[in-house]
Amino acid sequence: MKGVKSIRYVVWMMAVIVLLLGVSFADASAQPVQKNVILATTTSTQDSGLLDVLIPIFEKKTGYFVKTIAVGSGQAMAMGQKGEADVLLVHSPEAEQAFMKNGYGVHRRLVMHNDFIVVGPSTDPAKIKGTKSTVEVFKNIAATKSLFISRGDNSGTHAKEKAIWKIAKVSYEGEKWYQQTGLGMGQTLNVASEKLAYTLTDRGTYLALKKRLGLGILAEGDAVLLNIYHVIEINPAKFPKVNAPGGKAFADFMVSKETQALIKTFGVDKYGSPLFFPDAGKKVEGLGK
């Protein structure tokens, strides 16, 4: 009988071991094969604090770990063109269209929008406060040679600024009143504040840093100041080493109902209004182009 009991015990232990191994393999298969996701994004999503709220939720929900590289939209897309990122969150629509046309991205989905504003010192040397046309605002700044601080970093904000100067037909390159930082939005706002200068900024970053800035909103509301964000997955056919499943998981997360609801309320408790407005799935004139 002892021999039979021993055999039964051995069989029972083997069954337990097989069961435990099965559970371990099941758990392993449920986890992402490649856990790190490289997100290249504009500085405004980082400086505003939005990603500090969203990324921990994404990581907990999916098991991925996000490495965020916050640069200008142009630099983020340059990373995408080299396969150095898995997914982009950017706000430079014309550059994004070229990016997609050249096959660097596989999906480009509308996430949210806010708007750009022109901020400056209370002395307002160019007398732009209340001017409805942003083009006229830029013309007045140039005409009065009032100091203007540009990001100068090929970001979405910089692209918008250059587009406005072009419409205004103003030559600004090399002018003493026009200075470039080559920095992100938060740092550029700090420079503008220190120098009592004008600058173009997204509303979200400005509101997030407003308390420590000596700058006020002097021009806003013009249609040309619309600021649209898209999420783009990098094309694995061009770059086999990218984490395509991780990039898709992040993109899916950004346009999900849960995340869009969080975006809708982000900033309301602190600033009295949201810093971004959710747009996933919308087909609105002026958005998603």
- pLDDT tens per residue, range 118-136: 999 999 999 999 899 999 9
Report the percent of the chain where pLDDT is more than 70: 87
**So what's the pLDDT on residue 92?**
87
> Do 176 and 215 lie in a common domain?
yes
Same domain, 106 and 207: no
Q: What is the mean pLDDT of residues 235-245?
A: 95
What are the structure tokens assigned to 283, written together? 């087909």
Residue 120 φ then ψ, to 5°: -170, 180
Mean of pLDDT over the chain: 88
- The pLDDT, as a whole number, for residue 11 is 45
Q: Is residue 283 part of a domain?
A: no
Residue 47's CATH number: 3.40.190.10
Largest Cα span, the chain: 104
- Measured over the CA atoms of residue 5, residue 6, residue 8 and residue 9, the dihedral's sign is positive
CA distance 109 to 232: 7
Q: Are residues 86 and 175 in the same domain?
A: no
| C-beta atoms surrounding 103 within 10 Å | 10
Q: Which class for 192: exposed (0-12), middle (13-18), buried (19 or more C-beta within 10 A)?
A: buried
Phi, psi of 137 (to 5 degrees): -60, -50
Given a cut of 90, whether residue 284 has pLDDT beyond it is: no
Same domain, 109 and 233: yes
Q: Which domain holds residue 97?
A: 36-113+229-278
Q: Do 107 and 160 belong to one domain? A: no
Residues 101, 185 within the same domain:
no
Question: How far, in Å, CA of 67 to CA of 79, rounded?
Answer: 13
**Does residue 182 belong to any structural domain of this protein?**
yes
